Amino acid sequence: MAEKIIMPKTGMSMEEGVIIEWLVKEGDLVEKGDPVAEIETDKSTMELESDYDGTILKIIYPAGTTVPVVKTIAWIGTPGEELPKEEAVVASEAHSAAATTTAVPASAPVALKAEASRASMVGDRVKATPAARRAAIEKGVSLEAITPSGKHGEVREGDVLSAPSVSATPLAARIAADQQISLSDVAGSGHGGKVFKSDLAMLSAMSAAVADGFVPSYQDELVKLTGIQKITGKRMFQSHSEIPVVTENAKADVTELLAVRKSLNESLGSSLSINDFVMLATARALRLNPRMNSSLAEGDQLLYKGRINLGMAVATPRGLLVPVINDADMYSITGFSSAAKQLAMKGREGKLQPNDMEGGTFTVSNVGMFGVTAFTPIINQPEAGILGVCAIEDQLKMIDEKIVNRKIMGLSLTFDHRIVDGAEAAVFIKTIKDFLEAPLTILA
C-alpha cells in the first residue's frame, strides 16, 4: 500500500513550508530514515526523512513550491501501485502552476542574461542546494572548487561558508557575478586584499577581451522573502504593536575583561569571544533579578521562570534565527562558549531543529561587530526583555590624575513595561555592567 510523504508541522505557529530541493527523484529506492527533500520551515531549514521503505512513486510538488503543513507532497510504495485519482490531478495542477510561475517573459532578455551569468558564476552544472548557490554568489566563489559533503554528492551551504572567502564590497561582488569574474583572481587594493569596483575596472583594462565587454549592468531584482524572514517580520511587528516598550542604555568598561579573555585564550588554547562573557554575565544577572526572567500569565499574574534559557540571535542568509542555550547560568565560560559556537554553526548551516529554538526566557542580540553604538532591539514575545550588545570604543579617562585609554562597551536593554518598571530594569543592566567590569566574578 502506498504511503504519503507530507509537509511536516514542526511547531504550533507553522502553517506552511517551502520545498527547497528534492534529494530524490521518481523511481528512486529509499529506506526509512533516508533524506528525501530539503524544506524550509518558519524557523529553519531541515532535511525531511522518509518514514517508510519503498520506491518514490510520485513527487506532487516541485522544488520551490510553498505547501501547507500536513499536505501530501509525494507518495512512496511498491513500483506499479496506482495512486488515488485525485492525487494524480493535484500533481498535474501543481507542476502546471510551478511552470507558469517560473516562466521567463520574452520581454526580459537582459534580466535573463544576468541571471544566466550569475548561475554560470557559481557553477550551474554542479549539484548543489539552492542555499549553497546563494551563498556562493554572496561570497563570489565557484562551486566547482568546493568539496561537497552532502549524502548525495551535493554541495551544501556549510561547504560554501567554510570555504576560503574573498573580501569584497557588495558592489564589487555584484559586478563580478554579472561579469563572470572570479574574485579569487582579483588582486584587491583594500585592507587585507579587499576587492573594490576599481580593482575590477583595472583587471578589465589589462584584458582587451574583458575591456571591450566590461559594461556594468544594474538590474532591479524582485526577491521573495524566505519563510524565516516572513515569520520574523510578522512576529516583530506583533511584538512592537502589543508591548509598551522602553529602552535603557548603559556603558560598561570592559578593559579588564579584554585582558582576562586574552589571558584565558592564551593559557587554555581556546577562542572565547566577548559575546560569551556578555551572555554568561546576563545569565548570572537574570538569576539575581528574576523579574527579568518572567512573563505575563493568565489574569493579573507573572510567571517567574525557574530555568534561565538564553536566546542568542544569529544572522543567517535565510534570516534571523534565535537558538536557545538551556540552563545558561549553569555553564562554565568554556562550556558556554562551546555550546554557543555549536548552535551558531548549526544556524549558519541551516541545521537547527525546532527544539533548538524553543523555551527561551530572555534574548541577547549582538551587533557590536558592525560598529553600532546604541539601538532598540525588539522583544521576542513572551519574554520580558532583550539585551542589545554594542560596539567597544576607545575612551580617554582620568584615573589617579593620569589620562588613560579605556575600552567602553554599549549595552541597550529593551523591556516590557507591563512586567518591569524602569528602576528594576536599571538594576538589572547595572548588574550586567558590574559583572563585565569585574570579569573574575563571571567565572566564579
Q: Which stretch, 27-36, 131-140, 207-216, 329-338, has highest mean pLDDT?
A: 329-338
pLDDT category of residue 191 using cuts at 50, 70 and 90: low
Across the range 15-30, mean pLDDT stands at 87
Question: φ and ψ at 9, to 5 degrees?
Answer: -105, 105
Phi and psi, residue 300, nearest 5°: -90, 65
- 40-53 burial code (b ≥16 CB/10 A, e <16): bbbbbbbbbebeee
Cite the DSSP H helix spans in 289-421: 333-348
Active site residues: 417
Lowest-confidence pick of 12-21, 88-97, 153-162, 312-321 = 88-97
Q: What is the pLDDT of residues 348-368, one digit of tens each?
A: 877 888 889 899 999 999 999
Residue % of the chain over a pLDDT of 70: 77
Q: What does the block give as the cell for 309? A: 534559557
Contact 135, 160 (CB under 8 A): yes
In the chain, domain spans = 3-102, 109-213, 227-443
What is the tally of helices (H) and strands (E) in the chain?
13, 18
Nearest-10 crossing angle of helices 170-178, 197-206: 40
Computed from CA positions of residues 94, 95, 101, 102, in that sequence, does the dihedral angle turn out positive or negative? positive
Contact 304, 295 (CB under 8 A): no
Task: Work out the pLDDT band at 174, boundaries 50, 70, 90.
Answer: low
How far is it, in rounded angstroms, from Cα 195 to Cα 175? 11
- Are the beta carbons of 352 and 44 closer than 8 angstroms? yes
**Residue 322 · residue 358 · CB < 8 Å:** no
Identify the residue whose cell numbers are 548549526: 346
Cα distance between residue 108 and residue 429, in whole Å = 55
CA dist., res. 229 & res. 378, Å (int): 15
Instruction: Tell me phi and psi for residue 33, to 5 degrees.
Output: 100, -15
Confidence grade of residue 198 (pLDDT, cut at 50, 70, 90): low
Q: Grade residue 210 by pLDDT with cuts at 50, 70 and 90.
A: very low
Residue range 27-53: mean pLDDT, rounded: 84
Q: Residues 323, 344: contact at Cβ < 8 Å? A: yes
Which pLDDT score, from 0 to 100, does residue 433 have? 97
Confirm if 374 and 410 have CB atoms less than 8 A apart.
Answer: yes
Q: Which CATH class is domain 3-102?
A: mainly beta
Taking the CA atoms of residue 277, residue 281, residue 283 and residue 285 in that order, the dihedral angle to the nearest 10 degrees is: -170
Block residue for cell numbers 500533481? 91
* Tens digits of residue pLDDT in 33-45: 888 988 887 667 7
Query: Which of 40, 4, 47 minimizes the C-alpha distance to 24?
Result: 47
Helical ranges in 289-401 per DSSP H: 333-348
pLDDT in tens, 122-149: 444 577 776 777 777 666 666 766 788 8
pLDDT band at 211 (very low <50, low <70, confident <90, very high): very low
Mutual angle of helices 255-268 and 422-437, in 10-degree steps: 50
Neighbouring C-beta atoms of residue 262, cutoff 10 Å: 11
Q: In what order do the strands lie in the sheet with 35-40?
A: 45-49, 35-40, 16-22, 66-68
**Residue 184's pLDDT is what?**
66
Instruction: Tell me if the bond preceding 323 is cis, omega within 30° of 0.
Output: no
The amino acid sitting at 93 is E
Assigned C-alpha cell, 158: 556549510
- Cell readout for 437 is 567590569
Please, what is the Cα angle at 313 between 312 and 317, to 5 degrees?
135
Assess whether pLDDT exceeds 80 at residue 324: yes
- Greater confidence, 332 or 190? 332
Decide if pLDDT at 317 tops 80. no
Q: What is the pTM of this model?
A: 0.62
Identify any residues that bridge with 247 across adjacent strands, giving them in sequence order: 414
Which amino acid makes up residue 337? S
Closest among 208, 135, 144, 205 to 173, alpha carbons compared = 135
Cα separation, 54 vs 79, whole angstroms:
8
- 82 secondary structure, DSSP code: P
Residue 181, pLDDT above cutoff 80: no
In this structure, the number of other CB atoms found within 10 A of the CB of residue 302 comes to 15
pLDDT digits (tens, 9 = 90+) for 63-96: 888 899 889 999 999 888 888 765 545 555 555 5
In contact, 293 and 361? CB cutoff 8 Å: yes
Residue type, 29: L
Here the cell at position 362 is 530572555
Q: What is the mean pLDDT of the chain?
A: 82
Residue 57: phi and psi, rounded to 5, are: -85, -40
300, pLDDT greater than 80? yes
Q: Quick one: CA torsion of 371, 293, 417, 285, rounded to 10 degrees? A: -50
What's the confidence (pLDDT) of residue 94?
56
Domain 227-443, CATH class in plain words: alpha beta
DSSP assignment of 241-281: HH--EEEEEEEEE-HHHHHHHHHHHHHHT----HHHHHHHH
Angle at 24 between CA 148 and CA 229, to 5 degrees: 70
